[in-house]
Structure 1
Amino acid sequence: MRISTSQYYESSAANYQRNYSNVVKTGEEASDLIRVRTAADDPVGAARLLQLDHQNSMLEQYATNTTSVRNSLSQAETTLNSINTLLQRVNELALGAGNAGFTDTERKATATELGKLEEQLLSLMNTRDENGQYLFSGSKSDTQPFVRNADGTYSYMGDEGELKLQVGDMLTMAATNSGAKTFQQALNTNRTQTTLTAPTPDDGRVRFTDGQMSSASGYNDQFRSGQPYTITLLSSTQFKVTDASGTDVTADATNAGTFDPSTTGGVSISFRGVDLRLNINLQTGDTNPDAVVAGHTFTLESKPDTITGVRSPGNASSAQVSSTQVVDADKYAKAFPSGGAVIKFTSATDFELYASPVTADSRPVANGTLAGTPPTATAAGVQFDFSAAPASGDQYVVQVNKHQTQNILDTVAQLRQALEQPIDGSTAGQQQLREALDAAISNISSGQDQLGYTVTSIGGRGKALDLQELANESLSIANASTQSSIRDSDPAEVMTRLTLQQTMLQASQMAFSRISQLSLFNSL
């Protein structure tokens, strides 16, 4: 086989160019020690590097999310500690207000301070983060969580959800807290009521307080199943209790229904998980206490549900829900959403009632048409009275209070209102105040316990966040090490290869130089 001079020339030139290209490429590799620049350099390694780059991006996002969650939790914990400090002051004022030497003026001054604390408490419960998002609105972080109603009570406008961020491959962490769980779920001990049924009108000689729940198990297992109870005074030293079926259950009461009417501050009575206080207020001329006390009758039962409605901020009209009442107890028990509802007006007169929360696929529980003046709407056994006619598109948030729990704002407001009432010289007024103070002190304690649960939850999330952050940092270090092992070059190997390639380049350059000088004329 013969090779022409041109073929020999071209082969030598190609060899020279290939060696030159190798030297240039290896020289670049020697300068930055990067082995894999394109997929052609190492197809398998390049694919693995793409996976590792994706993982590294996720780890960077996890780090950002971790910082956001930690900042949010820290701010929430600081806010809750401030709220707890306020509640401690409220508790001190409640204890001090029970001083027998206090006058109406001193109690009014205490009420004024409570009003300021109430405003501070509302402000703290509506705290925003650095991004302007509410800390305690649940997943509705752009909605103010707590608003004051026209009647002085408070409603929660957020939800029970949580905004969660991914902080690890298998871990999401709640960055927000639900105000419903933090402030609304404090156990309400003041959930029963007594009503005088005889004599009519009230002669003021006998008073039973509404009662405080002292045992949740006793209340749930025994009290609720037998209500309503009837308490009948047999004399000035004895009473009888019968349940809803008429069965005598006096044996479940303290001392089986006997008491000492001269007990200072009233007689404490425990009955099926409920503590009551009985006061016998004899009047001038009552020479026969048994005769004037016997026959006084009271009913004792759980407080009925309280229903409130609040207009949405975006409503076209200024109409408010002025009052509500259950007009059909059976329909209310069967159909009305126990977790709250939303009234939507589809026209100026027609409305629909939805169970809360309302989603895209929610269906109305009930509907109807406004009637009367002022306009009223009746749905699922409940009548809603409006201050004026709502407009089409208006919405109203309806909340049901079963009195099992109580917002700490309502606890403070009720205490303030009790202290604002003048009672100097009134025995009944002083007994009512004592009852209000007992309820406030107990519910403040419940509110602080609920705050403690939330702080514990925040601490637990913070600990889990620290552990996950350590895991992410370890994973990030391993990721960087793996990427380096695939992408980076061995300096010694690169320099050895570069030296070899430079030698080969010099050889091919010399060979090419010699071949380029080959000519027949050089041999003549």
Structure 2
Amino acid sequence: MRVSSVTMYEQSVASMNRQQSDFLKVGQQIASGRRVVNPSDDPQDASRAVGVSQAMSITEQFADSRVSARNSLAQGESVLNSVSDAITSAKSLLVQASSDTLSDADRESVASELRGIYETVIGQANATDGNGRYLFGGYQDSSPPFVQDDAAGGIVYTGDSNDREQRIDASRKMPVSNNGDTIFRSVPSGATHVAEADGGNTGNVTFSKLQVVDADELVAGEAYTISFNDSTDPATYTVQDSSGTPLTNHDGEDYTPGMAISFDGLRVNLDGEPGNGDEIRVGAADQMNTNLFRTFERALSVLESPATTDAEVAELKNSLSTSMRELDNSLDNVLTVRASMGARLNELDVVDSVGSNRTLNYEQTLSDLVDLDYGEAVSEYSLRQVGLQAAQKAFVDIKGMSLFDYL
């Protein structure tokens, strides 16, 4: 077979190109640190690496979502901390205002300080997250959730009853804020009972020491009305349930100032002289006023009004007593919600830890699939370099050969 000079040239050039391609491929692997630079290098591992990379990206997105959720919860928890401090300060002012030694002017001074606290609580209830979204409006977070409505008689809630949620992991959707209705217009389950006197009472009867003496006798959701009749001597009282039915042994019973009456597991102390038709209502906290803002408004109303007659003094005492009990219930509710936010912040830490471990596993799997073994690569690089040099030397030697040298 005859071998032409062109054939030898073509074979030599092809050998050099092949050696140079292999050499450059190893160099590219070393430069990038990856064994699989192009999908054609290892189609199966390249395909698996794409799936792992996508999973890592989703995990990173959830991590970013947890950062956002943590910021929202931390802001909400900080605001509720301020609200609980405000309620505690308000309760201290009401205790101070309950003293018999204070004059009307003194109570007006207390009312002025209490109004400042009230305005602070309204401001905290309308707090934003720094991006213009209101924390406690549920999904209606583009406008203040609590606004003054004179027609409705005070502060009204304009948000919705949903808690804004955010997905923090593939299988977990977490509430990142609580709606204002739950925080400022609710009481916790098991909150203490509340008593309040009718604003139109003409006598000076007052109540105190409302307490549960037998939890087994309590009637869930029941509310009671204690009504007085002073047309007889002595005056009498009747306790009716929510349907208007008098309770056994509490229908037209003699009333004595300073007495304590017990019914359906409850006991309340009564004092003072009632007017005919005067009423005191008693019920579970969630059946009475649960609106924190209305509690402030009730207390401010009586503190800013002079109390000169016996009936006005009794209304002052009863209103402050009711307001203090409602503030206690509201404080318990705020602390309960705040504790819930703290628990969610702790859960975020746990989910973060799980997410970090998951990311490490993905990184290890991805490294096993596409990363380069540098020791093996450097050896291969040296081998390919020698192969390329040998191909170049062979080409130079073949190029210099001619049959005329043998003639």
TM-score after normalising by structure 2? 0.85
Shift of the alpha carbon at 1:176? 2.1
Aligned to 2:263: 271
Deviations 1:392-421 (A, max 9, x none): xxxxxxxxxx95452212111110101112
Change (3 A) 1:172 1:71: same
Read off the aligned partner of 2:175 and give its amino acid letter: A
Deviations 1:135-193 (A, max 9, x none): 11112221201112215521111112233233223223322221111111126855777
User: Aligned equivalents of 1:247 and 1:34: distance in 2?
Assistant: 85
User: Aligned equivalents of 1:205 and 1:516: distance in 2?
Assistant: 127
Change (3 A) 1:77 1:223: closer
Q: Secondary structure at the match of 1:249?
A: strand
Aligned to 2:28: 28
Shift of the alpha carbon at 1:58? 2.3
Read off the aligned partner of 2:168 and give its amino acid letter: V
User: Aligned equivalents of 1:34 and 1:109: distance in 2?
Assistant: 76
Aligned to 1:408: 292
Shift of the alpha carbon at 1:478? 2.2
Shift of the alpha carbon at 1:130? 1.9
Aligned to 1:436: 319
Aligned to 1:157: 158
Q: Secondary structure at the match of 1:154?
A: strand
RMSD: 3.5
% of aligned pairs identical?
26
**Is 1:43–2:35 an aligned residue pair?**
no
Deviations 1:207-260 (A, max 9, x none): 577997869986654845xx778765664265454668886523369xx94553
Shift of the alpha carbon at 1:273? 5.8
User: Aligned equivalents of 1:180 and 1:99: distance in 2?
Assistant: 33
User: Aligned equivalents of 1:467 and 1:149: distance in 2?
Assistant: 43
Instruction: Say whether the 8 Å CA contact 1:190–1:210 is kept in structure 2.
Output: no
User: Aligned equivalents of 1:460 and 1:64: distance in 2?
Assistant: 20
Shift of the alpha carbon at 1:278? 4.3
User: Aligned equivalents of 2:197 and 2:327: distance in 1?
Assistant: 19
**Is 1:260–2:256 an aligned residue pair?**
yes
User: Aligned equivalents of 1:164 and 1:473: distance in 2?
Assistant: 22
Shift of the alpha carbon at 1:518? 4.2
Instruction: Say whether the 8 Å CA contact 2:234–2:254 is kept in structure 1.
Output: no
Unaligned runs of 5+ in 2: none
Read off the aligned partner of 2:273 and give its amino acid letter: N
Change (3 A) 1:134 1:89: same
Matches within 5 A, 1:90-239: 90-150=90-150, 152-186=153-187, 189-190=193-194, 204=202, 207=205, 220-221=219-220, 223-224=222-223, 235-236=233-234, 238-239=236-237
User: Aligned equivalents of 2:184 and 2:59: distance in 1?
Assistant: 35
Deviations 1:194-216 (A, max 9, x none): 699xxxxx8x4685779978699
Change (3 A) 1:33 1:236: same
Instruction: Say whether the 8 Å CA contact 2:199–2:315 is kept in structure 1.
Output: no
Unaligned runs of 5+ in 1: 197-201, 283-292, 304-401
**Is 1:497–2:372 an aligned residue pair?**
no
Q: Secondary structure at the match of 1:435?
A: helix
Shift of the alpha carbon at 1:439? 0.8
Read off the aligned partner of 2:356 and give its amino acid letter: E
The count of aligned residue pairs is 399
Change (3 A) 1:246 1:87: closer
Shift of the alpha carbon at 1:458? 0.8
**Is 1:463–2:357 an aligned residue pair?**
no
Read off the aligned partner of 1:176 and give its amino acid letter: S
Instruction: Say whether the 8 Å CA contact 1:35–1:489 is kept in structure 2.
Output: yes
Matches within 5 A, 1:300-311: none
Instruction: Say whether the 8 Å CA contact 2:228–2:235 is kept in structure 1.
Output: no
User: Aligned equivalents of 1:485 and 1:248: distance in 2?
Assistant: 81
TM-score after normalising by structure 1? 0.67
User: Aligned equivalents of 1:176 and 1:57: distance in 2?
Assistant: 26
User: Aligned equivalents of 1:438 and 1:20: distance in 2?
Assistant: 93
Read off the aligned partner of 2:14 and give its amino acid letter: A
Change (3 A) 1:500 1:206: closer
Change (3 A) 1:485 1:16: same
Read off the aligned partner of 2:142 and give its amino acid letter: D
User: Aligned equivalents of 1:59 and 1:222: distance in 2?
Assistant: 47
Deviations 1:68-124 (A, max 9, x none): 222222222221111111111111111111111222111111111111111111111
Aligned to 1:420: 304
Aligned to 1:89: 89
Read off the aligned partner of 1:420 and give its amino acid letter: E
Q: Secondary structure at the match of 1:129?
A: coil
Higher-RCO chain (CA-CA 8 Å, sequence separation at least 6): 2
Read off the aligned partner of 2:341 and give its amino acid letter: I
User: Aligned equivalents of 1:123 and 1:297: distance in 2?
Assistant: 41
Shift of the alpha carbon at 1:4? 4.8
Instruction: Say whether the 8 Å CA contact 1:213–1:219 is kept in structure 2.
Output: no
User: Aligned equivalents of 1:87 and 1:412: distance in 2?
Assistant: 10
Read off the aligned partner of 1:39 and give its amino acid letter: P
Shift of the alpha carbon at 1:427? 0.9
